[in-house]
Structure 1
Amino acid sequence: MKKITILGVSSLFLLATLFTSCNSIKNANNTQKGAGIGAGAGALIGAIIGNNTKLGTAGGALIGAAIGGGTGALIGNKMDKQARQIDQALPGADVERVGEGIRLVLNENAVRFDTNKSTLTAIAKANLDKLVPVFNEYADTDIEIFGYTDSTGKPEYNLTLSGQRAASVKSYLVSKGLANSRFKTTGEGIANPIATNDTPEGRSQNRRVEFAILANEKMVQDAKKEAGQ
């Protein structure tokens, strides 16, 4: 199993203070992941991180939702477990623990889209099937799906196409029994490429979807009770 990248909220607080570029924290403990900033600081950091091409919009959404304190640490523990299970279920995916949530990048190794297409291939469906049991086990999470395109074509067209890609993934997961209310989809178009658009291979990687997996209100309230808040 590959190592899961961890971007802890303690370092992100420093980022918000100094306005420096973000760095991934390896082997951070759960307190570093979940405790260190409150929701207000999280919103500020989210705005900064959201414009960073490394983490993209999904990472910004996760940091912006940070709660911090003992509640955040307890949520972080659950997200650690879920991230490991996702990594085991789908080794080809890129799994990152960001703040109190999980950023999941499904690129060409997991969910690949052909140029100008939003339909899921048989391989894409098979890989999404591997995620369904994990998402079912951790039912107290919300999932935001962000669709992306390469730079081919007009930006306006790509924005629409990327939204259709995110919607295709959501529709398939809902068809497998996951609650529709857990999902939110957004098209990001050509924003935040993860590879060069100058080669066919790079463009293929950019035709992707990303997930931001975060605690829903029930998980938050349960964690607050457990933390004695």
Structure 2
Amino acid sequence: MRNSSINFIILLLMGIMFSSCSTMNKTQKGAVVGTAGGGAMGAIIGKASGNTAMGAIIGAAVGGTTGAIIGNKMDKQAEEIKRTVPDANVQRVGEGIIVEFSSNVLFGFDQSALTSSSRASLDKLVIVLNEYSDTNIEVQGHTDSRGSTAYNKDLSVKRASAVVNYLTTKGISGRRVSINGFGESVPKYDNNTKSGRDQNRRVEFLITANEKMKVQAKQQAGK
């Protein structure tokens, strides 16, 4: 009963923050999330939703007017990614962006080497990432539940590393990017179905403001 109550509260809170505020745009929601949430809120939502990317972005939010300014910049970047990279799933969350590629877009089955078609997809994303250079990028690798935990963890790291290595060859500064491999530990979809397993084999990009963007947004907010 207690766990059910906690889950209900979390889901209710998420609903209020991401759905109920119908009069607020995504930029304004980002300001609210940052002010009210912070690291604890990000951790709660990330765990509750099985979405580590969402949790990390919310946890890193600045909030307030500064966060709203950052959110406005992220709105523009997200729309450009949607136009430029149609085979990616793009989601605006708080003050950041999640770009999700299914692994079958980037890799062959059980492989960690990028295919020629996946490099073409990443080339499209690189165009936007280079245009909006005042951002940090975390690349997260995930797998389905088949195979051992250790093997899946290693595969997820190799895939995220392959993506990051390719980005740096295309001019993305290594200082902007980081790698995280979660293996099978954070499924977003149902591993009991083929479709769910296919979707869980994914690579996600977390795009957030770097310190330069935060300082500029703070200065703009103070005017």
Shorter-chain TM-score bucket reads: 0.7 to 0.9
CA shift in 2, pair 1:27/1:194, >3 Å: farther
The yes-or-no answer on 1:34 pairing with 2:46 is no
The yes-or-no answer on 1:44 pairing with 2:35 is no
1:43 and 1:228 map into 2 onto residues whose CA distance is: 24
The yes-or-no answer on 1:222 pairing with 2:213 is no
2:70 equivalent in structure 1: 75
2:160 and 2:109 map into 1 onto residues whose CA distance is: 15
Q: Aligned residue pairs: how many?
A: 213
State the Cα distance separating 1:160 from its structure 2 match. Answer: 1.1
2:148 and 2:116 map into 1 onto residues whose CA distance is: 28
2:182 equivalent in structure 1: 188
Contact 2:35 2:64 survives alignment (8 Å): no
Contact 1:80 1:97 survives alignment (8 Å): yes
The yes-or-no answer on 1:211 pairing with 2:205 is yes
Secondary structure class of the residue paired with 2:11? coil
1:87 equivalent in structure 2: 82
Contact 1:53 1:193 survives alignment (8 Å): no
State the Cα distance separating 1:40 from its structure 2 match. Answer: 7.4
| 1:2-17 equivalences in 2 (<5 Å) | none
2:57 equivalent in structure 1: 62
Bigger fraction of residues in helix? 2
Identify unmatched segments of 5+ residues in structure 1: 1-14
Contact 1:53 1:192 survives alignment (8 Å): no
Letter of the 1:19 partner, please give it. I
The yes-or-no answer on 1:167 pairing with 2:161 is yes
State the Cα distance separating 1:76 from its structure 2 match. Answer: 0.4
CA shift in 2, pair 1:157/1:31, >3 Å: closer
Contact 2:187 2:200 survives alignment (8 Å): yes
Identify unmatched segments of 5+ residues in structure 2: 1-5
* CA root-mean-square deviation: 2.4
The sequence identity of aligned pairs, in percent, is 50
1:170 and 1:105 map into 2 onto residues whose CA distance is: 14
| 1:89-168 equivalences in 2 (<5 Å) | 89-108=84-103, 110-111=105-106, 113-168=107-162
- Residue deviations 1:27-65, cap 9 Å, x none? 8425522322556731111110121345x1111110001
Secondary structure class of the residue paired with 2:32? coil
State the Cα distance separating 1:103 from its structure 2 match. Answer: 1.0
TM-score by length of structure 1 reads 0.84
1:42 and 1:165 map into 2 onto residues whose CA distance is: 29
Contact 1:46 1:61 survives alignment (8 Å): yes
Q: Which of 3, 19, 27 is 2:10 aligned to?
A: 19
TM-score by length of structure 2 reads 0.86
CA shift in 2, pair 1:197/1:27, >3 Å: farther
Letter of the 2:102 partner, please give it. N
